[in-house]
Chains A and B, each alone.
Chain A
Amino acid sequence: MADKIFRVNMTDLSTSIEDVPADWAGHGGRGLTSNIVATEVPPTCHPLGPNNKLIFAPGTLSGTAASNSGRISAGAKSPLTGTIKESNSGGTSAQRLAKMGCKALIIEGQPKDDSWYSLSLTPEGVTITKEEELIGKGNFSVVESVEKRFTDKIGILSIGQAGEMQMTGANISVKDPDSHVRSLGRGGLGAVMGSKKIKFIALDAQDGKVEIADLDAFRAANKAFTKALVDHPVSQALGTYGSNVLVNIINEAGGLPTKNFSQGQFEGHEQISGETMHDLIVERGGKPKHGCHSGCVIQCSQIYNDIKGNYKTSGMEYESIWAMGADCTIDNLDQIAEMDSIMDDIGIDTIETAVAFGVAMEAKVLDFGDAVEMTRILREEIAKGTALGRVIGNGAGSVGRTYGITRVPVVKNQAIPAYDPRSIKGIGITYATSTQGADHTMGYTIATEILGVGGTADPLSKEGMVELSRGLQIATAAIDSTGMCLFIAFAALDDETCLPALIDMINARFGITLVAADVTNLGMSILKTEHAFNMAAGFTNLDDRLPEFFETEPVAPHNAVWDFTGEEIDTFWNF
């Protein structure tokens, strides 16, 4: 059975199943969502209006036995940045979509009345149903109820209260294998789903299977690929400490943004570090090692229990812990885990929202380090949609504008994550030039600048940083199209057997003959497609800049400032 495009029109509540146009056939994941947005969404449309479209696509290898291939991409014009957006997550949805033969789900239009709906997908198509019971509820209740209505095997994409209220920090939750949630976190795509009046999407693949053109070749390539992943020492450290192993090393390098980006090191770093978290998890009978999707061999997620040994949260990432921790100067992992859980339930991006809190602390809306008040605001203001809740729920830029703050760490209105671009300069190029606003995952130069993976580069020097970021952004766009977790990149950068094995798997899956240059060309073409959309939406090269304070406020311990000229940044697009 050939893969199909599933289309839902929320204006007239119609659905259709379409053949895949030839231009989209070679795409999956981010390459597909970005190409569909570029083809079908008017760049100048209002992101929350009927002309925007929300697209979900599994990667080209999702649903197969390929290790770490269970990532899903969601795409739209972002209400947070106004740019094109691809947000990426684990969970079980990518595999469900791929197995039911859905290459992409396109949701367009907008209901004319105030009714809410849910979607249910099977290999036969999409059913639209009116939804009342779960409106106003958080993601945890949604998952529980939807599993009862269908089965506990069902895949679920859902929004919490933040998405219903169309806050630009709202995310889309993706059910994981344990019925907890992962997040399509960045760029406010939960608000786009809310604007389409869809509370949840249930995914039932039934007995669907992904077809493999050459099964023997696929198995052999997957074996080599898996070995490269498992053998790499970064994979092993990720399985033990999670991505939060980074707190201490980024702090040591002086690049841990602290107290709303006014310092480069955090006194309480040890208390929120991966090492401390690992010991706490083990002591309380949690799991330091946990996969966000079946088939993951790295297992960087974790099950974090509270002091009584009861489940509190899972999948806490370094960037979330940094944002609530160092950026808001909170040095208590239990308070951070509590807020992580609330944000998962409300359905709001942990990075955007915690950075917004950092700006609110600067504005004296609450004190730095006041986790009790932060928790109250999450529950009583953001979840309930009060005026203050909406100001913070709309992100860091919103808080800065509302309270007249100039130290607002955003690019294209999206919050800058856990690495200070003054003391780690390559990542600043990624923040500035990314097609999606500030986002470390778009071109993770930290690997080379700080971690010594894929070579070395002096993080305080501008030398070679534009090229480093460009190379990684191109490679990342390609990886994001396969359904692969980005953490395969550490093995791919160091182990020469890894990427060829990945390409062999794609070839065996589809019966094609891609070579490495094709993959690079795919990455370049995706970036150019996304960039062209942004230009047509009204962005210029002058939007590829960091906030002014990075140039004027030196950050300790290196007393570094952001010193790239605009002309230097603009050379990024010379390819």
Chain B
Amino acid sequence: MQVQVKLFAFFREGRFIKEDRELPEGTTAGTIVDELGIDREEVGVLMINSRHCKFETVLQEGDIYAIFPVIGGG
């Protein structure tokens, strides 16, 4: 299945901003984080299709998956 992965803030350094990835069925959000070499402790927010999700959430064909570090502002 194909999933678009988007990275933000310093997670982009040495990686990418946006990438389409071919993934096996059943891939979880957490697996992608691990594969990218991102420490789960540094992850602040995960979103699939503009909704918050968890490391355990299973990705689906056509999903847009966004990974953010811990950030804030206001």
Contacts and interface: CB of A to CB of B under 8 A. Distances in A.
Interface of A: 233-234, 237-238, 240-246, 248-249, 252-254, 270, 274-275, 300, 317-319, 440-441, 444, 446-447, 450-453, 456, 458-460, 486-487, 490, 557-558
Contacts of A490: 72
B47 A487 contact: no
Nearest to B45: A452
Chain B interface size, under 10 / 10 to 19 / 20 to 34 / 35 or more:
20 to 34
Contacts of B44: 233, 451-452
A300 B72 CA distance: 10
Contacts of B47: 252-253
B45 to A, nearest CB: 5
Given A318-B74, A459-B52, 16 more contacts: A234-B72, A240-B9, A242-B73, A245-B71, A245-B73, A246-B71, A252-B66, A253-B50, A253-B52, A275-B8, A275-B12, A450-B45, A451-B45, A451-B72, A486-B74, A487-B73
Interface string B39-67: 00010110101111000000000000010
Nearest to A235: B72
A246 B74 CA distance: 8
Contacts of B6: 252
Nearest to B74: A444
A248 B42 CA distance: 18
Contacts of B71: 233-234, 237, 241, 245-246, 249, 451
A246 B9 contact: no
Contacts of A441: 74
B30 interface: no
A245 B50 CA distance: 17
Nearest to B64: A252
Nearest to A451: B72
Interface string B19-51: 000000000000000000000001011010111
Contact of B72 (A275, A487, A558): A487
A169 to B, nearest CB: 21
Contacts of A460: 51
B73 A244 contact: yes
A240 B45 CA distance: 18
Contact of B70 (A237, A444, A486, A487): A237
Contacts of A451: 44-45, 70-72
A234 B9 contact: no
A234 to B, nearest CB: 4
Contact of A274 (B9, B49, B66, B74): B9
Identify the interface centre among B10, B42, B50: most chain A CB within 10 Å of its CB.
Answer: B50
Given A252-B66, A452-B45, A456-B52, A240 B10 contact: yes
Nearest to A270: B17
Contacts of A237: 9-10, 69-72
A233 B70 contact: yes
Contacts of A248: 8, 68
B74 A440 contact: yes
A254 B64 CA distance: 13
15 contacts: A233-B69, A237-B71, A237-B72, A245-B73, A252-B6, A275-B9, A319-B74, A444-B74, A446-B74, A452-B45, A453-B70, A458-B52, A460-B51, A487-B73, A490-B72
Contacts of B42: 233
B60 to A, nearest CB: 16
A440 B47 CA distance: 23
B53 to A, nearest CB: 11
A453 B42 CA distance: 13
B50 to A, nearest CB: 5
Nearest to A459: B52
Contacts of B74: 243, 246, 318-319, 440-441, 444, 446-447, 486-487
B33 to A, nearest CB: 15
Contacts of A244: 73
Contacts of A557: 49-50
Nearest to A447: B72
